[in-house]
């Protein structure tokens, strides 16, 4: 995986250097659940910030130029799911495209596409609180100095369903998709669900993976738009999320 990460970091850095100072470079990393997209996006953002600090030692104490932005803050709340015509299915399928607030996500992308000027302030995105299992509004700051945003989520190259997904994807400078064999993704999801407490045992975790996560995964692959980069997820013990200090206990 490291060779692929090195290539993507260098590509993003080169594109950022060519980006006007009044604009942000927006990169969307998508893939099916269990593909490793969270680890990839977080790692690329961290590497870009390291490169920026290395190139500008006097600014080492300043916030970085890259922000890692997971889209799990755009889950519909449990109350919103309960208000749907079929609340049982809505809760059971949480993580499917229809259980996200696509219009709100598109609004964020449009704000990030506005020109950066001296008066530009911080833009805030929602996060997700795993303890209460709901989004937290205005929890992730994106400062005006953050000129690279690495988005991460299942539906960032999604070309069908709510039109907002496609419109948001078309506003990105780069679309990257993490490809993974279904069986590998399933094994990762089983471990993740048991570790996070979403499932009490491997049998229950496998049922959830088969009936929700991988169902969503098939739809994500079928609806995938043309992307700029295909990243091939490989098993690498030194690159596991827990070894990188990255939280992947989410549906998106």
Mean pLDDT calculated for residue range 81-102: 96
Specify the pLDDT at position 185. Answer: 94
In sequence order, what DSSP letters do the residues of 179-236 get, joined into one string? E--HHHHHHHHHHHHHHHTSSSSHHHHHHHIIIIIHHHHHHHHHTBPP-SEEEE----
- Stretch 204-212: mean pLDDT, rounded? 93
- What is the spatial distance between Cα 235 and Cα 59, in angstroms, rounded to a whole number? 36
Q: Please state the rounded mean pLDDT for residues 4-11.
A: 96
Helix (H) or strand (E) holding 103: helix 102-113
Q: What is the number of residues in the chain?
A: 252
Beta strands, E only, 85-207: 123-129, 134-142, 148-152, 174-179
Helix (H) or strand (E) segment spanning residue 224: none
Tokens of 54: 């290395």
Tokens at residue 112, please? Answer: 């990030």
- Residue 247: pLDDT above 80? no
pLDDT above 60 (res 141): yes
Q: 69 forms bridges with which residues in the sheet?
A: 151
pLDDT at 252 over 80: no
Which pLDDT score is estimated for 61? 66
- The percent of residues in the chain predicted with pLDDT above 90, rounded, is 81
pLDDT for the residue 59: 67
- Rounded alpha-carbon distances, angstroms, from residue 197 to 129, 154, 190, 204: 14, 21, 11, 11
Q: What is the pLDDT of residue 244?
A: 47
Residue 100: DSSP 8-state = B
pLDDT confidence of residue 7: 97
Confidence of residue 56 (pLDDT cuts 50, 70, 90): confident
What residues contact residue 149 under an 8 Å CB cut-off, 6+ apart? Answer: 24, 25, 26, 27, 66, 67, 69, 112, 142
The predicted model gives 86-115 an average pLDDT of: 96
The pLDDT assigned to 238 comes to 54
- Average pLDDT value for the chain: 91
pLDDT tens across 147-188, in order?
999 999 999 999 987 899 999 999 999 999 999 999 999 999
CATH number for the domain whose boundaries are 2-241: 3.40.50.300
Look at residue 58 in the predicted model and tell me its pLDDT.
72
Backbone angles phi, psi at 175, to 5 degrees: -115, 120
- Model's pTM, two decimal places? 0.91
């Amino acid at each position: 995986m490291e060779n692929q990460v090195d290539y993507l970091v260098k590509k993003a850095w080169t594109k950022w250097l060519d980006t006007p100072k009044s604009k942000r470079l927006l990169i969307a990393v998508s893939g099916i659940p269990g593909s490793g997209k969270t680890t990839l996006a977080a790692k690329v953002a961290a590497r870009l910030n390291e490169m920026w600090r290395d190139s500008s030692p006097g600014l080492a104490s300043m916030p970085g130029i890259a922000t890692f932005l997971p889209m799990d803050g755009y889950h519909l709340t449990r109350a919103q799911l309960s208000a749907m015509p079929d609340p049982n299915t809505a809760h059971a399928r949480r993580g499917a495209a229809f259980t996200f607030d696509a219009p709100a996500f598109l609004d964020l992308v449009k704000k990030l596409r506005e020109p950066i000027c001296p008066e530009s302030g911080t833009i805030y995105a929602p996060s997700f609180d795993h303890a209460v299992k709901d989004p937290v509004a205005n929890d992730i700051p994106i400062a005006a100095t953050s000129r690279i945003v690495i988005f991460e989520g299942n539906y960032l190259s999604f070309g069908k369903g709510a039109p907002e997904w496609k419109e948001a994807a078309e506003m990105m400078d780069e679309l990257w998709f993490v490809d993974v064999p279904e069986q590998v993704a399933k094994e990762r999801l089983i471990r993740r669900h048991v570790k996070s407490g979403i499932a009490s045992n491997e049998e229950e975790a496998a049922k959830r993976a088969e009936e929700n996560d991988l169902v969503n995964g098939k739809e994500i692959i079928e609806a995938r738009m043309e992307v700029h980069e295909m990243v091939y997820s490989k098993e690498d013990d030194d690159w596991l999320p827990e070894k990188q200090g990255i939280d992947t206990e989410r549906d998106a």
